[in-house]
Each structure stands twice: as structure tokens, then as C-alpha cells.
Amino acid sequence: MTSEKILGIDLGTTNSAFAVMERNEPEIIVNGEGDRTTPSVVAFTEDGERLVGNPAKNQAVQNPDRTIASIKRYMGDDDYTVTVDDTEYTPQQISAMILQKIKRDAEEYLGDDVDKAVITVPAYFNDRQRQATKDAGEIAGFDVKRIINEPTAASMAYGLDDDSEQTVLVLDLGGGTFDVSILDLGGGIYEVVATNGDNDLGGDDWDHAIIDWLADGFESQHGVDLLEDRQALQRLKDAAEEAKIELSSRKETTINLPFITATDSGPVHLEESLSRAKFESLTSDLIGRTVDPTEQALADAGYTADEIDEVILVGGSTRMPQVQAQVEELVSRDPRKNVNPDEAVALGAAIQGGVLAGDVDDIVLLDVTPLSLGIEVKGGLFERLIDRNTTIPTEESKVFTTAAAGQTSVQVRVFQGEREIAAENELLGEFMLSGIPPAPAGTPQIEVSFNIDENGIVNVSAEEESSGTAEEITIEGGAGLSEDEIERMQQEAEEHAEEDEQRRQLIEARNAAESAVQRAETLLEENDELIDDDLASDIDAAVEDVESVLEDEDATADELEAATQDLSEALQEIGKQAYQQQAAQAGAEGMGADPGAAGAAGDSEYVDADFEDVDDATDE
């Protein structure tokens, strides 16, 4: 049976969160470790095991070369791959591993299959990045019903859906991206009127500022570049992130990393005090980069700062006092704080999932495309067909012609961006329209049409009117994944999921077998006088069988379970013989004995408690 629930997923750079509508309210789902957020980290151990989330993050210092973090920053990058054990992984595949864990944890929490999802992206993600995110979701086994912007999702989570009209500024500073959106709200309608941002600015950059400061100071003092040591660098990363978090609530923190490296003189330690003032000085250029996108979004929306009614801060990095101070300086408004900034996006995505599932019927979401879309024309110029901040879904067409006499084909090159020269913008895709009847330059009429769906994903077509010849393209994200490639990656992901399940079953079977052996040894010792030699011998033999299977590294879960079951059945005989011995002793003592004595013996922990424990161990 498959659940009709649609999972809302905030696939973050540093941490991810996921939620679902329960009893008409969005609810964060805790992961398999019991946490409300999941580190967006994947690791491969030396023995081939794949770790995701906290288990991956916790072993990063010992295994830095095989641990992958902040992969979201490379979504949509055609050329970026991660190589582990001679296997290359795209950002979509690594992201799919994170999404697989989310899917598995959600299904465990809900007790049902979950195959539909709404996944959020930074508002300023371009088409390639959006398509790559959708691909990742499909590789993980999701039917991705919608890709929506993170600031838009966050505004839904804050409950700004009453009948009053208001203008809201949503500033989202996550681990790897920054974006800002202006929304007009009222009567349950969420209309994004402008968006802007910086896809290369996030909390990771504040961490790196601390890392560089520590490394420079250490090299000046000890002549050792810690950035060249992968394990030392990972320790610096962890310490920098912790220091950044501490400085959000404290004026000063101490960074202490013993045995960070060794020289000819022996071990060397790192210990530095970092004040909030120094931290803000180190990162003043970063906070400055939030100003232009915010002012540009206001300008594009046609609003002044005084016309903003509410300010919402999203993303863990907005907890930094300097971020809040910068926002108050720009907008002169105290931000809303009634929702955890780490969870707001996932909660909003769940609400949008509820809208799509028909569980929520009083909300309408009108989003926009973050960047202009167009084609390259003569002279390498960028001809816009759809301007940035146009409400989506949308479509637009324009008629073009040939630049040379007798031209029988044209190359349609699709770009996204704001520069006037096409090559300075992002090339999304290209295709050739052939079969144009030869004619003087400027005669053929070629209609180029753009269509942007509700996910912000672009379809482009071109048709020559006299001949009817036509071509079209759906802009692919990331590495240009085809349906066959996505299907192949889905199969690989499913195969790996099956391997993970088999590994889990084997570990559980080994644990149960080891527990059974320990329990057998305890019961034999405690009941030595109550059982006969034949039963003791049978149990010893069963213990030897289990230990023999445990010593076999190639033993399967079924073999372990079978051996454990045989031992458990033998252990059950202990209770029977112990009860018979106690009953016989009670009878031999005569009818004058205390009437409660037999009952006490029958209820002794040697019988009931141990039988129950054995059954519990078998159940485990």
C-alpha cells in the first residue's frame, strides 16, 4: 500500500529537513537517529558501507577523503563529479543518497510507503539547478510533484495566510546559498513579486573565514600549513562551525584543538580565542554581499523598505547577530521568530504538498522565474523572451528570421541571465532547426516559444511557419540527464537500498546470535542444579553451532537466524526442567509447607523472567 501523503523536503547544503501534513497541520518528521534535521553528508567507508547523515558527519575527521558535504553547491554543474574508489558520482547521485535516507526514515516514521514529494530550492537557482534537483529526487525513487522556492515555502510555514493584505520580505541564508524574495500576501494567495540572491554565499563561507584565520595564524606561529593536511582541515571545519554557532549567543569563544599536528619537536596544539567583534570583522565582506540582492529585489518589486510589513529570516545562518542587524538596518523591521528557521522551509513544502494532495484548499501559490530567459541572436546578443520575476507557469513567443541568404538551418541557443551578451549568461541548452526553405535573408518566419512550468523548468520550441518544420527541447539540468540515465541511476539506487537492507538484517542477526550465546551461558550457570546433564550437553552443542556460524564471515542472516532459533528452543527446556524440579521439591516437603512457597517458586525469576528474556532476545 502506498501513502497518498506528499512529503515536503528541504534539501539543504548543510542540513536537510522533511515534513508532512498531519491533522491539517505541517509536522516535522524526525529521522532514524531521532533528530529533526539531517546533515547533508555522505560517506563511504573502507569496507564499502555507505553512510548518510549523522553517521557520515561523525566519522569525517577519520575519513575526510571519502566524506562528501555541501554537494548542493554543485547542483547543475556539468563538469563536477566526486570520485570514490574509481567510481564517479554526480551531484544528483550524492543528493539522491541523502534523499533516499529521507525517504526511508519518513516511511519508517509514517509506517507506509511514501513516493511523492515537494522539494525546495533556493529562489535564485537557475533552470539547470532546478532540473538537477528534480533528477536527484527521481533517482531516489520519488515522484517529484513540485519544485518550489525556499523563501516562498518559508512564508507559508509562518502562517501568513490571513485575509489581510501584507508585503513580506523573506531572507534565506543557508549553508551554501543566499536569496531574498518579496511576496504580496492576502486571502490565502502567496504571490512572489520579485526575487534575487547569490548562489555562492552561505554559512559555509563564514566557516571558511574562521578556518583561514586559524590556519594563517598557526602557520605564522609554527610554520605548518594545516590546510594541506586533510584530517587537520576537517577538524578545523568542525571547530569553525561550532565557533560560529557559539558566537551567535556569546561574545567570545575558545577554539581548542589538541594534537592538531606534529613537528620535529613533537605534538603541536591549537588554541585561540575568537571574539564576536573579530568574527564580524573577518566576515564583513560576506555580510556586505547580502545588501545588493536585497535592495535589487525591493527595486524589482517596486517597493521601498518602509512598505515592507513583515520580515522572515530562514536558514540557520540567519541566527548570526550581524545578519539580523544588517536586515534591521535595511528594512527597519524586527523579523518574525515564531518558527524555527531550520524547519520553516520543510514545513512550507509540506503545506504545498497538502495543496497538491487536496488536503489544503485555501492557499494559492504564485511563484516567479528568478532570471530572464532568451536566445542568442546575430552579433552574440541576448534577446529576452521572458523577463526575470515573471509569474510562473508562463509562456511567451517571438518571431525571428534568418541572417543570411539561402540559409536552410538555424541554431537555437537558449540562455538564462541578465547580461546583454549571450555568452556572459548561462547556456541552458541548444538545438538545430533544419529544413528551412532557401530564401533571401530576413524572409523566413521562425517562431521561438518558451514555456516555463510550475516547477520553473523550461521547454523551448522553434517552428518555421511556411514549411511547418519544427524542433523542441526540454532544458535538462546538471549533466544533462536523459530518462535512460535517470532510470539507470534509479536502479543503482534501488540496488544499493537492497544492499543496505541486507546489511542491516545481517547485523541484527549477528547481534541476536551473540545475545543468545551470552544468555545461554548465564542460564546454564544460574540453573546448574536444576537441569540434567543431557539438556546441558544439548545447549552446549547449540552454543557451539551458533559460535561456528558467527566465526564464518560469509554466513548469511538466514543461517545465523536458524542457528539462533535452535539455541533458543533448547534454552526453553531449562524453564521446563527447573519448574519440574521445584515442583518435585515442594511435593517432597509435604502438605504442611507454606501454601505460598510453591507459588513463589513457580514465579521465581529462574522461570518466568528468564523465559521472557529469551523470547525477547529471539524477537530482537
Dump pLDDT digits (tens) for 118-145: 999 998 888 889 989 999 999 999 999 9
Comparison of pLDDT for 73 and 186, the residue scoring more: 73
**Selected catalytic residue, list 105, 150, 179, 198:** 150
- Answer yes or no: 172 catalytic: yes
| The pLDDT value given to residue 259 | 92
Question: For the chain, how many residues are written?
Answer: 620
| Coil, strand or helix at 559 | helix
pLDDT at residue 42 is higher than 80: yes
- 448, containing H or E segment: strand 446-452
Structure confidence at residue 115 as a pLDDT band (50, 70, 90): very high
Name all contacts of 235-242 with Cβ < 8 Å and 24+ positions apart. 235/61, 235/260, 236/211, 237/207, 237/211, 238/60, 238/61, 239/210, 239/214, 240/207, 240/208, 240/210, 240/211, 240/214, 241/203, 241/207
| Coil, strand or helix at 40 | coil
pLDDT at residue 601 is higher than 50: no
pLDDT at residue 593 is higher than 80: no
The three cell numbers of residue 357 are 494532495
Structure confidence at residue 271 as a pLDDT band (50, 70, 90): very high
Structure confidence at residue 93 as a pLDDT band (50, 70, 90): very high
| The pLDDT value given to residue 498 | 65
- Answer yes or no: 10 catalytic: yes
pLDDT at residue 38 is higher than 60: yes
**Selected catalytic residue, list 72, 101, 103, 237:** 72
Question: How confident is the model over 143-197, as pLDDT tens digits?
Answer: 999 998 898 888 888 764 556 788 999 999 988 889 899 988 877 788 888 988 8
Q: Give the start-end residues of each E strand in 369-408.
A: 373-377, 381-386, 391-392, 394-400
**Average pLDDT of the segment spanning 233-241:** 94
Question: How confident is the model over 357-368, as pLDDT tens digits?
Answer: 887 766 666 777
The three cell numbers of residue 463 are 517552428
| The pLDDT value given to residue 362 | 63
**Average pLDDT of the segment spanning 358-384:** 80
Look at the block and give the residue holding cell 580565542.
273
Give pTM, 2 decimals.
0.69
**Residues 234 and 60: beta-carbon distance below 8 Å:** yes
Mean predicted lDDT score pLDDT of the chain: 84
pLDDT at residue 620 is higher than 50: no
pLDDT at residue 467 is higher than 90: no
**Selected catalytic residue, list 135, 138, 161, 172:** 172
Residue 69 sits at φ, ψ, to 5 deg, of -130, 165
| The pLDDT value given to residue 91 | 95
- Answer yes or no: 532 catalytic: no
pLDDT at residue 612 is higher than 50: no
User: Can you count the helices (H) and strands (E) in the chain?
Assistant: 16, 27
